[in-house]
Chain A
């Protein structure tokens, strides 16, 4: 298992081939970003002929992506932080409370996933405007913290149910309170699933287009996707700039993922054994 055998080598080759086939559409996306829009129109699937960077500078400057990045980072970070804290605490109760109460509450929250979001759009927006929050990034944070709770809770509760309870029982015997047990024993074991939660919630929040447009459109607080969509026209679309903008927008999330998935593996191993 620990050694890199010839079988591992074969597996590696196969996986690289599979991934290469898989990322072909991604390659199209990247190549469009590096070509002038007119050239893309003539042949959408050709590779870039030179290192053309104008799309990036136009998207960044004319599209106002700089301030939008700051808004997006701020909104995503706070929303995800709230989701992680609130979701992990609640899932501890859902997965460990005695009797059926925890399970019932869990089922109610998890059922939130099943609701088509269109049903609640108008009533929620009315509440937001009545609170005077329309245009304020806080409105979007509230929305994110609520709308992604079901997924967060499903992930946390699912993984906590698989965690052995003995460590917690041992801590209890040693006289630790509920909070101490949760903080010292459970939280360190949650790191891998927290990585998953951060990445999955982070991606959906970062990419969200409709609600940021509805809540924040026209203010200086809009997010990156809202800005990128302003390049998508009814009749004429500047695809070069759209794709350049999208590449810039995707990069932070992919880096986050790259960082987290390495971290996930190490921390879990040591958390369990240590």
Chain B
């Protein structure tokens, strides 16, 4: 302590002291500086900031972006020291340290229930960022998840998009027999290696109970006791292993990172790759000559069962203790305008949460448009999980499953145990 003070005095002369944070803006005007923090890859955020500054002369938006792990850590430290940004990127649900419901529970976020955009978002989106019936964040877009594939190669190989699980297995056998990887997987990267099982789970569950998420939220179903959940999780892992046996994925998939899996498509060694659509841009840029589209992995033999799994894109919340609350909320409201929401989803290769009559789906995602427009979508189960450990356990178990180091029963039991531990 004393050392710090001594040193401060010693170096203060040479330092250019520029205080950060909100300037002394008057409480009622939209003016002054706001700090906005987000994890990287929010291409739209800088645009929004520039437009907002133009719209409200006298405002300044200071943007800080950092990779997800460091992002969560720095913001947690800043919240603890009462030096958090005015507007921050948050995740829906309760599944990590910067998830809306965790932060709202700790009393860190401003109540945004009365904002104009709330009524346009739909229950799914608002449910994710609500705590005690109050809305705490703006969801800007969602990202469809599925197999992003090379359309020319598909016709060249003479195969067609599988509509049922049986078709999927023969699709995999056909494609791999020609020396091409059907669906590249970056199983080294944690969040990715649980994607396929969780997509299968969604189709298995929601085809039986369309209100599963709502039932979980209301307490009618519980993760620890739901038979539908546990049987679907088990089934999904069995199907996952069947896919692996049918050579749907490349050999040694646990040795590939997400990026290396995507490169297999760009290099035309793989027909497709299972991704969150936000990563599609990277695949396109790596090989712009290829035309792409996306399909969702079927999990049953009834094509109508298939549900499109969606990933929650960026959500933004306001720091309750912001010294420039008015401007911070104005910025959120600005991002919540329809035009801005469309721009945000386009920039991140996503779609708005709710398909309006005029909503268009970008090229490259046309294949999943029917499911999206028919509202046959569901969010990742992870969004509704009570803690982050379940996901971590599932990542490890699914890697071991692919490596043949465990079996489905043990893997599912380990995952269920993590739910019970919360």
Contact = CB atoms under 8 A, between A and B. Distances in A.
Interface string B6-26: 011001101111111100000
Given A41-B287, A125-B77, A217 B37 contact: yes
B164 interface: no
Interface in B35-93: 35, 37, 39-41, 62-68, 70, 73-74, 77-78, 80-83, 85
Contacts of A170: none
Contact of A218 (B4, B39, B63, B80): B63
A141 B11 contact: yes
A229 B66 contact: yes
A236 to B, nearest CB: 4
A146 B3 contact: yes
B266 A41 contact: yes
Interface stretch (B113-121, B169-177, B276-284, B325-333): B276-284
Interface string A134-146: 1111100110011
A129 B8 contact: no
B11 A44 contact: no
Nearest to B259: A237
A236 B66 CA distance: 13
Contacts of A230: 40, 65-66
Q: On chain B, which size bracket covers the interface?
A: 35 or more
Interface stretch (A95-103, A184-192, A208-216, A266-274): A208-216
B298 to A, nearest CB: 25
Contact of A232 (B3, B20, B40): B40
A192 B361 CA distance: 65
B406 interface: no
Contacts of A145: 7
B286 interface: yes
A141 to B, nearest CB: 6
Nearest to A236: B282
Contact of B287 (A42, A125, A142, A232): A42
A217 B64 contact: yes
A233 B41 contact: yes
A213 B76 CA distance: 13
Given A42-B266, A229-B67, A236-B279, A217 B83 contact: no
A218 B37 contact: yes
B66 A235 contact: no
A232 B266 contact: no
Contacts of B16: 137, 221
A136 B262 CA distance: 41
A219 interface: yes
B267 interface: yes
Contact of B18 (A38, A135, A232): A135
B133 interface: no
A49 interface: no
B34 to A, nearest CB: 10
B15 A137 contact: yes
Interface string B255-279: 0001100110011000000001011
Interface string A105-143: 000000000000000011001111111111111100110
A218 B266 contact: no
Contact of A138 (B17, B78, B278): B17
B7 A142 contact: yes
Given A217-B74, A218-B35, A136 B18 contact: yes
B281 to A, nearest CB: 5
A65 to B, nearest CB: 16
B286 A213 contact: no
A47 interface: no
A38 B287 contact: yes
Given A38-B288, A131-B8, A236 B281 contact: yes
A43 B268 CA distance: 11
Given A135-B20, A137-B15, A218-B20, A82 B7 contact: yes
Contacts of B11: 78, 138, 141-142
A221 B18 CA distance: 8
B106 interface: no
B42 to A, nearest CB: 9
Contacts of B21: 134-135
A132 B8 CA distance: 11
A82 B41 CA distance: 38
B83 A129 contact: yes
B20 A234 contact: no
Interface in B235-273: 258-259, 262-263, 266-267
B374 interface: no
A234 B83 contact: no
B41 A218 contact: no
A146 B6 CA distance: 12
Interface in A242-256: none
B285 interface: yes
Contact of A125 (B5, B65, B81, B286): B81
A131 B4 contact: yes
A145 B10 CA distance: 12
A37 interface: yes
Contacts of B20: 134-135, 216, 218-219
B263 A127 contact: no
Contact of B73 (A129, A141, A210, A236): A210
Interface string B275-318: 01011011001111000000000000000000000000000000
Contacts of B41: 233-236
A38 B63 contact: no
| Chain A CB within 10 A, most for which of B74, B85, B278 | B74
Contacts of A127: 1, 4
A235 B19 contact: no
12 contacts: A41-B266, A129-B82, A134-B21, A137-B15, A141-B11, A210-B74, A217-B66, A218-B63, A229-B66, A229-B70, A234-B40, A234-B68
Given A41-B266, A129-B81, 11 more contacts: A41-B282, A42-B286, A125-B78, A138-B11, A145-B7, A210-B74, A216-B20, A218-B20, A229-B66, A230-B65, A235-B281
Top-3 shortest CB links A-B: A135-B20, A41-B286, A236-B282
